[in-house]
Amino acid sequence: MPYVTVGRENSGETQLYYEDHGEGAPVVLIHGYPLNAASWEKQVPALLNAGYRVIAYDRRGFGRSSQPADGYNYDTFAEDLHKLVKHLGLRDFTLVGFSMGGGEVARYAGKYGTRGVRKAVIIGGIPPYLLKSADNPEGVDGSVFKGIEQAVAADRYAFFTEFFKNFYNTDALMGKGISEQAVQASWNVAARASPAACVACVAAWLEDFRADLAKLDVPTLVIHGTADRIVPISASARRTAKMVAGARLYEVKDGPHNIAWTHAEEVNRELLNFLGSSAAKSASS
């Protein structure tokens, strides 16, 4: 299994697990909270069949990556991503981020620019700025996130049970776009994540990506479910699409937060149409 070392904690290395499949123009998939790279299982085959090279990795603290005690902020997440890009020698690549992963897409552009980035896709993303403030009245009150943080710290297993009901809108989609077994599989992945990461990432959701989005100057696709109960579309995607010059917004009607699973066919169609019907020859080395 391939890993890239992105740092150290005391006597141990901090490593990111990644998978690298196929040939062609590279597409880097960045997963959401509290999942791992395997959550892209409905997108990976579609991308490979279309001729793309697909790289998916586990964020620090999640999946098969290291679980350090700290580093759960977007400057560090973007740095981890940059180290993976450098390690693989990627050029002319597309970044695709879901939920929390949308923050990496934005912060990567803000911190490192878009040189080498071909296109960007944000699915159910948390940008531009979720926290309600004097200059961000469209945001969500901070007490909501404080309550989430406390609930995760008190009993994250119980929290995730309720969380995934709204992650997939199980009351409306169970037996249609999602199965009980798939929800349980997501819970199992979440349960194996770092307890420290599960708590610390809540604060990271409140980082301000508005300045980062201003630097996202490549073709950008924003996809979001209109029935998203985790990240409301009005506070996120619709605003993000206005902040990124020339961005295209695609709304999945009645889609929940994880539309990449429940509405995979629709998401894949829009994703592939945006990327192009066939991959260009890879420019990676």
| CA 25 to mean position of chain CA atoms | 20
Residue 279 is predicted with a pLDDT of: 44
Q: In this model, does residue 75 exceed pLDDT 70?
A: yes
**Structure confidence by residue, pLDDT tens digits, 253-268:** 999 999 999 999 999 9
State the CB neighbour count (10 A cutoff) for residue 83.
15
Question: DSSP character for 133?
Answer: B
pLDDT band, very low/low/confident/very high, at 141 (cuts 50, 70, 90): very high
Greatest Cα pair distance in the chain: 50
Residue 23 is predicted with a pLDDT of: 95
Exposed/middle/buried for 85, CB within 10 Å: 0-12, 13-18, 19+? Answer: buried
**Structure confidence by residue, pLDDT tens digits, 153-203:** 999 999 999 999 999 999 999 999 999 999 999 999 999 999 999 999 999
Tell me the average pLDDT across 77-100.
Answer: 98
Q: Which among 66, 99, 194, 282 is annotated as catalytic?
A: 99
Contacts of 185 (CB under 8 A, 6+ apart): none
* 20 a catalytic residue: no
Q: In this model, does residue 3 exceed pLDDT 90?
A: yes
Distance from C-alpha of 234 to C-alpha of 130, rounded to nearest angstrom:
10
Exposed/middle/buried for 86, CB within 10 Å: 0-12, 13-18, 19+? Answer: exposed
Q: Which among 80, 228, 282, 284 is annotated as catalytic?
A: 228
DSSP codes, 167-207: HTTHHHHBTTTB-HHHHHHHHHHHHTS-HHHHHHHHHHTT-
Label residues 196-211 b or e (16+ Cβ within 10 Å = b).
bbbbbbbebbbbbbbe
Please indicate, yes or no, whether the overall pTM of this predicted structure exceeds 0.85. Answer: yes
* 257 a catalytic residue: yes
Two tokens, residue 177: 């776009």
**Structure confidence by residue, pLDDT tens digits, 237-251:** 999 999 999 999 999
Two tokens, residue 108: 């990567």
Residue 285 is predicted with a pLDDT of: 39
Tell me the average pLDDT across 119-136.
Answer: 97
Instruction: Give percent above pLDDT 90 in the chain.
Output: 96
Two tokens, residue 172: 């409306």
Q: In this model, does residue 236 exceed pLDDT 60?
A: yes
What single letter denotes the amino acid at residue 92? D
Q: Superfamily for 3-275? A: Alpha/Beta hydrolase fold, catalytic domain (3.40.50.1820)
Least confident of 39-48, 78-87, 133-142: 133-142
Residue 282 is predicted with a pLDDT of: 41
pLDDT band, very low/low/confident/very high, at 112 (cuts 50, 70, 90): very high
Helical packing angle, 180-191 and 142-167, nearest 10°: 130
Distance from C-alpha of 9 to C-alpha of 284, rounded to nearest angstrom:
31
Cα dihedral 114, 94, 246, 262, rounded to 10, equals -140
pLDDT band, very low/low/confident/very high, at 5 (cuts 50, 70, 90): very high
Domain range list for the chain: 3-275
Q: Which among 58, 65, 194, 257 is annotated as catalytic?
A: 257
Distance from C-alpha of 37 to C-alpha of 39, rounded to nearest angstrom:
5
Q: Which helix (H) or strand (E) holds 269?
A: helix 264-275
Distance from C-alpha of 150 to C-alpha of 111, rounded to nearest angstrom:
31
Residue 278 is predicted with a pLDDT of: 43
* 278 a catalytic residue: no
| CA 51 to mean position of chain CA atoms | 22
pLDDT band, very low/low/confident/very high, at 281 (cuts 50, 70, 90): very low
**Structure confidence by residue, pLDDT tens digits, 15-32:** 999 999 999 999 999 999
